[in-house]
Amino acid sequence: MNKKFLLDFRKKGFFIGKLNLIEKVKLDEIKKKIVNILKKKLKKNVNLENFHNIIEGKYLNSIRLEVFNKINKNKFNLEYYNMLSRFIEPIVGSENVIQKKINLSIQLPKDDTSLLPVHSDTWAGDSPFEIVIWLPLVDSKKTQSMFILPRDSRNFINFHKFTFKRNSEIMKKIKKDIQFINIKYGEVLVFSQNLPHGNVVNTEKKTRWSFNARVKSLMSPYSQKNLLDFFEIIELKPATEFGLLYEYPKFK
């Protein structure tokens, strides 16, 4: 793994990595599968970037859920992890868990119904030891993409000192420090979900499609989302399995 990725993650809390040829071929196959699902559903040719030209916003969520359910069959989460493992394991380790279903997001231009206001996943019960693996299915930039408050920004360093009554106050406070992620198809964003992040109304001319998934070390502390309900084990090392099954003898 490129050492710059590690340095960026330690400094900013995120990095963008480029998929190699094998990973890119796999991503192309997944994208083609999604396009075929949409073609069969809509009975017309589909271009993901121009999806807003063939669908009305009121139908978007039902279509998203249909694609989400079909793509998540047959352990897609493990396929997703294996495709991107070289970006994950230097950050988290090799004995990891991943959420059971990979999230799919679609954001049409000028659509205000698919917004995630500024938040950190820890505020909603996620473990602070998790990272997010965010993978675009189209080139994404500016408001078409998402924003992050970098770890080395002054407002993140002092974030725990602030008191807020409503979400709009948070955005007003950090607006000058947030960074919109400009990322191309064939690249992946890895970030700590402790960083405040979110999206705004897409004022660009193209639709954004992206996957996201949470990954953490198997043995790191959990929060409200526990192992059995939310996560699936990627690999259990022999020593860990042995230790989890160990029973202490009884001493008088």
1.10.1740.10, 2.40.160.10, 3.30.465.10, 2.60.120.620: CATH of 3-235 = 2.60.120.620
Q: How confident is the model at residue 35 (pLDDT cuts 50, 70, 90)?
A: very high
The pLDDT tens digits for 184-208 are 999 999 999 999 999 999 999 999 9
CB neighbour class for 46 (10 Å; exposed up to 12, middle 13-18, buried from 19): middle
The pLDDT tens digits for 214-241 are 999 999 999 998 888 899 999 899 999 9
Cβ partners under 8 Å of residue 173, min gap 6: 155, 162, 164
The pLDDT tens digits for 148-174 are 999 999 888 888 888 887 777 898 889
Q: Domains of the chain: which residue ranges? A: 3-235
Element containing residue 136 per DSSP (H, E): strand 131-136
Tokens of 23: 């990973």
